[in-house]
Amino acid sequence: MNNLIDNLSSANQITHIYFPTEIILNLTLSFILGIVVSVVYKKTHKGLSYSQSFMVTNIFVCVIVCMVIMIIGNSLARAFALVGALSIIRFRTVVKDTKDTAYIFWSLAAGMACGTGSYFLALAGTIILSGIAFILYFTNFGSIIKSEFILQFRTASGDDKITTEYNKIINEYAKSSTLLHSEASGDGKTIKISLDIVMKEDKKQDELISKISNVAGLSEVVLVAAKSDVDY
């Protein structure tokens, strides 16, 4: 036990001294790699959750982690002190896109590599991860063809002819259809209908919309991709 304590104490006393040129090189490289991570994020991002502040955060994370690694060096006491200091911080920001978490870890890893002077690892890792990100983006990896939709339209109340006509079209294009909601207008002359439909593989959504819209007596025809996209 005493030998273990002595070994920890002796290791704690050996602290790497960074020269000014080494500090500038580490911080500059981490800044450049942080920009690369942010640019890759911008170029490969899909959806509506894009955030400029997230790009800036990636750059700061990369540089700050580099600084932290240089501060700690190989000092065990500094490492424990840093853990204690950071334990009081609480992050309550909700990550909108799970892929954003991967970019945060990428910035952390690049900053750590720069802080330890592992320049080749930092550069090689960033180049390889950039390639992976672009490959996944251009191949649209993991995506599926959307077949379930919400169809909404307004129809005249009590008109069996219109009902028969739009049901015939829906049965032609959909495997199944389920009534989600029907709501009569204030004067009772029209009804707003919401249907959950599963499209047939060989049918196209725009053709369905075109035919439904051409039915006399139907209006406000809308087709959306998910139940969460519309109030019904």
Distance in angstroms (rounded) separating the CA atoms of residues 107 and 216: 57
Are 103 and 56 spatial neighbours (Cβ–Cβ below 8 Å)? no
CATH 3.30.70.2690, the chain: domain bounds: 148-229
Q: What was the pLDDT predicted at 202?
A: 66
**Mean pLDDT of successive 10-residue stretches along the chain, which has 232 residues:** 48 62 91 95 83 89 89 69 58 70 90 90 94 90 72 80 82 82 78 83 76 80 63 42
pLDDT of the residue at 159: 72
Per-residue model confidence (pLDDT) at position 90: 59
Distances (CA, A) of 228 to 14, 47, 196, 206: 58, 15, 12, 21
> Which one is the CATH code of 148-229: 3.30.70.2690, 3.40.720.10, 2.60.120.10, 3.50.50.60?
3.30.70.2690
